[in-house]
Amino acid sequence: MTEKPGEGETHTKLGPGPEFDRIRGIARRLGEHASGLGDDCALLTVGDLTLVLSTDLSVENVHFRSTWLSPQEIGWRAAAAALSDLAAEAATPLGVLASIAVPATASPEEVEQLMEGVGDAAASVGAWVLGGDLSRAETWVIDVTVVGTTDNPIRRSGARPGDQLWVSGTLGGSRAALSLWLQGVEPDPEARLAFAHPEPRIALGRRLGESGAHAMLDLSDGLAGDARHLAAASACAITIDLAALPIHPSVAAVAAKSGMAPQRFGAMGGEDYELLVAMPDTFTEADAARLASECRVTLTRIGAVSEGAGATFLSGGVPVELAGFDHFA
C-alpha cells in the first residue's frame, strides 16, 4: 500500500551551513530508516495519493520574543511558517497539528489566543486544526505539523540550466523588524506585519506548479542561503542580480543605519516565507503578471540557472559575497 516517493532512498542534496551539517549527520545515522530528508516537505505515497508533510518548530528567545508578539501572532507565525513549506511543494493543505509548551506563568487565555492564531492561519488556507499536545516548559515552544496533498510535488532538486528564477513578494521586511526590535525600537507597521503575519503563498505555489515550475522552496534562511540550497539540490549554478530584488519598503531606513545597501540587506534577510522558484524560460513576464494578479502577490524575475554549481550574487555585474541566516551560526 505504501511506497517511498519517486526519489527512492536518496535524500535531497544539501547546501552548506552548520544546520545542514547536522541534518547530514542525522541522515547518515538514520540510514535506511529515513526517506527524502532535506527538502521543504516529506512526501509519502499512500495508494494513489501523495501526502505532503512538514513540521516547523518555533522557540521563544530563538525565533521570537514574547515581548514582541501577541500570543495570537506567535500562533499565526508558527503555523504560517509550516504552511509555507506546503506552498513551496505546490501542495493543498488539509490540516495542522500544534504542540505547545508554555511556562507555568502562562494563563489559559494566552494559550487559547495562541491556538486562535494557529486556527486563523489554518483557516486562511482552507485547513483545519486537527489536534495537538500541551505541556509545560521553561519558555514558550510551539511545533506545528502540516499535512497536505498534491498531484505534482515541486522539489528543490528540479532546476535546469536555462531556467529563470523568480521570487514572490518582497524581501527583508522580517529582518528589518528583527533588527529594530534588537535595537530596542518598535518596528514600523509594515515591517512588523512582515515578521508577525507572514502569508503562506499556497495559491501562488499551486499555480506555479500548474505552470510548469521545475524547482521551488520557501525563503526561511534568507535568499543568500536558500539560493545555495536550491543550487546544491539541483546540481546547477544560480546567478542572481541584486539590483533585480524586490525589497520590502521598510528595509531602506534600517539598512542605511548599518551602512548596508538595501539589496544586500534583503538578500541576507531571514524568515521572509516567500517562494523562490525556477521556471522554464517559456514562462514569460506576462504569465508572471497574470499569476501575480490572480494570487495578489508580486512575482519578480531575479536571476537564472546555468550549468555549474553554487549561487552567485551580482552587484553591477560583479560577484559579491553574501552570508545566509542560520539558527546554528
Among 6, 10, 138, 319, binds its own copies (CB under 8 A): 138
Look at residues 163, 170, 140 and name the one whose alpha carbon lies nearest to residue 273.
Answer: 170
**Distances 36 to 42, 294, 308 between C-alpha atoms, Å:** 6, 32, 24
Nearer to its own copies, 27 or 320 (CB): 27
Shortest Å, Cβ 251 to its own copies: 26
Burial class (CB in 10 A: 0-12, 13-18, 19+), 76: buried
**Distances 65 to 68, 107, 120, 196, 211 between C-alpha atoms, Å:** 5, 17, 21, 11, 39
**Could you give the CA distance from residue 318 to residue 173 in angstroms, rounded to a whole number?**
25
Shortest Å, Cβ 43 to its own copies: 8
Shortest Å, Cβ 21 to its own copies: 7
Nearer to its own copies, 28 or 257 (CB): 28
Q: Which of residues 41-80 bind its own copies (CB under 8 A)?
A: 41-42, 44, 46-49, 51, 53-59, 61-63
Interface characters, 300-329, with its own copies (x: CB under 8 A) = ---------------------------xx-
Nearer to its own copies, 75 or 172 (CB): 75
| 133 lines the binding site for its own copies (CB under 8 A) | yes
Q: What three-state secondary structure class fits 46?
A: strand
Count of residues in contact with its own copies, rule CB under 8 A: 72
Per the CB < 8 A criterion, the answer to whether 82 and 54 are in contact is yes
| 1 lines the binding site for its own copies (CB under 8 A) | yes
**Could you give the CA distance from residue 66 to residue 28 in angstroms, rounded to a whole number?**
36
**Could you give the CA distance from residue 15 to residue 188 in angstroms, rounded to a whole number?**
34
Among 2, 8, 286, 318, binds its own copies (CB under 8 A): 2
Nearer to its own copies, 111 or 244 (CB): 111
Nearer to its own copies, 10 or 293 (CB): 10
> Cα dihedral angle (306, 309, 310, 311), rounded to 10 degrees?
-10
| 224 lines the binding site for its own copies (CB under 8 A) | no
| Binding piece for its own copies, criterion CB under 8 A, among 35-43, 210-218, 281-289, 316-324 | 35-43
Q: Which of residues 142-171 bind its own copies (CB under 8 A)?
A: 143, 145, 147, 149
Maximal CA-CA distance, the chain:
58
Which residue's entry shows cell 513540521? 55
| 26 lines the binding site for its own copies (CB under 8 A) | yes
Nearer to its own copies, 2 or 67 (CB): 2
Shortest Å, Cβ 8 to its own copies: 12
**Distances 208 to 51, 216, 267 between C-alpha atoms, Å:** 19, 9, 22
